[in-house]
Amino acid sequence: MRRLVILGSTGSIGTQALELLAAADDLELVALSADRRWEELIAQASRHGVRRVAIADEESAEQARASWDGEVLSGPEALAQLILGAEPDLVLNAIVGSAGLAATVITLTEGIDLALANKESLVVGGELVIELAAATGARLLPVDSEHSALYQLIGSEKGQSPGTIERLTLTASGGPFRGRSRAELESVTVEEALDHPTWKMGGKISIDSATLMNKGLEVIEAHQLFGTSYDDVEVVIHPQSVVHAMISLSDGSSLAHLGYPDMKVPIAYALHWPQRAKLELPQLNLEQLGSLEFEAVDNDAFPCLGLALAAGRAGGTAPCVLNAANEVAVAAFLDRRCSFLQIAEVIEATLAAAEIEQSYSFATLIEADRAARGAAAAHLTALA
């Protein structure tokens, strides 16, 4: 029996992971966490026999304590206490945003295996995260579908001489606005932006998918996870989201990972590695699919991918600044305080004005994140 902690259990990834546990007799759930949806969290804990949770929002934590007899941790040390106290074999980090970095760092520092959905951890602090995992021997299992696919594809090439893998390709659905020009994106609404064609996800990543920032974050994530240079990571639009990723090899052959889009597949892969779970999901039917489409990214309509690539190449705290500005701008868009196109404007202005440091210490990253949030908020005010 492996002991499992799920952080961000009330979200899209968290709830799907909990559904998978019903059929997983090798995993024992020992702790859960959320930000403010305490009623859902307590209901999950009760359903799964969990006696210890962490709640980020103080007020929500108070309310949870008043109505539940289990242990509710809160405050700045809550996640550390939750993770260390639970003595887990595996932590699933499904927190959204740079708020997930601390949990990633704590887990890896303790040498605990990490199933990582929180891609922002690798964007904000990729060097730190990868070095920690290497130093403690903790395994880092990507949950992001493209990276899970790459992890499996690259693993299948183990034993080949270095340099055999020449290129990684990440596919992007293109989001709800695929095919629209920049002018046509001027007045799109929050509802339209949240209406993703192939994946059902949390609000923040849905907007990131509509701007293509999600794919930008994922290029940085792939660079950090697999050590591939930015020149060798390619993005292609693939509206069906059936091909998740591809590796191109030195002899001209390519290996791709295919399946109907369903996050349960990569979540289960990370939770059960090195075993493969038995999931009741439909097998791919190529005859029914008929054809698959691929097209180039429109960088004029979707500048966020280019901004992310530039930040990734600049290195240091640039990806952290990019991420923080994006989180602030996306929250403003969801609150209807800025337009869709202004998301990229805020990020670009924040990056242009930021002092980038070539340091990856936790303290440096936290400070860069804080400063970038302030700068992005000021740019938003100036736009209004």
**Residue recorded with tokens 């130093």:** 135
- The smaller minimum CB distance to ligand NDP, of residues 204 and 379, is found at 204
- The smaller minimum CB distance to Mg ion, of residues 147 and 379, is found at 147
119 interacts with, out of Mg ion, ligand NDP, none, CB within 5 to 8 A per kind: ligand NDP
Rounded distance between C-alpha atoms, residue 213 and residue 378, angstroms: 21
- The smaller minimum CB distance to ligand NDP, of residues 147 and 349, is found at 147
Q: How are strands ordered across the β-sheet holding 2-7?
A: 71-73, 52-55, 27-34, 2-7, 90-93, 113-116, 140-142
357-366: long-range contacts, CB 8 A cutoff, minimum separation 24? 357/316, 357/317, 358/315, 358/316, 358/317, 359/316, 359/317, 360/125, 360/127, 360/128, 360/131, 360/316, 361/128, 362/101, 362/105, 362/125, 362/128, 364/317, 365/101, 365/124, 365/125, 365/128, 365/317, 365/320
Helix (H) or strand (E) holding 78, with range, is helix 78-86
For ligand NDP, the binding residues in 73-132 under the rule CB under 6 A are: 94-97, 99, 117-120
Give least dist CB 145 to Mg ion, A: 5
* 113 in contact with Mg ion (CB under 5 A): no
Give least dist CB 267 to Mg ion, A: 12
Beta carbons within 10 angstroms of residue 364's beta carbon: 17
Residue 266 phi/psi, 5-degree rounding, is -65, -30
**Piece in contact with ligand NDP (CB under 6 A), picked from 7-15, 282-290, 307-315, 320-328:** 7-15
When CB distances to ligand NDP are compared, the closest residue is 11
CB distance 56 to 33 below 8 Å:
yes
167 interacts with, out of ligand NDP, Mg ion, none, CB within 5 to 8 A per kind: none
3-state secondary structure of 37: coil
31 interacts with, out of Mg ion, ligand NDP, none, CB within 5 to 8 A per kind: none
**Residue recorded with tokens 């960088």:** 299
For ligand NDP, the binding residues in 194-253 under the rule CB under 6 A are: 199, 201-205
* Pattern 142-181, ligand NDP, x by CB under 6 A: --x-------------------------------------
Rounded distance between C-alpha atoms, residue 92 and residue 101, angstroms: 13
* Pattern 251-270, ligand NDP, x by CB under 6 A: ------------x-------
Q: Which of 4, 8, 128, 312 binds ligand NDP (CB under 6 A)?
A: 8
* 144 in contact with Mg ion (CB under 5 A): yes
Q: Which of 4, 5, 14, 221 binds ligand NDP (CB under 6 A)?
A: 14
Exposure class string for 161-179: b at 16+ Cβ within 10 A, else e? eeeebeebbbbbbbbbbbe
Which structure tokens are listed for 55?
Answer: 């709640």
**Piece in contact with Mg ion (CB under 5 A), picked from 137-145, 237-245, 291-299, 325-333:** 137-145
215 interacts with, out of ligand NDP, Mg ion, none, CB within 5 to 8 A per kind: none
Give least dist CB 273 to ligand NDP, A: 17
Which structure tokens are listed for 253?
Answer: 């052959």
Interacting residue ranges for ligand NDP, rule: CB under 6 A: 8-14, 33-37, 56, 94-97, 99, 117-120, 144, 199, 201-205, 263
Site residues (vs Mg ion, CB under 5 A): 144-146
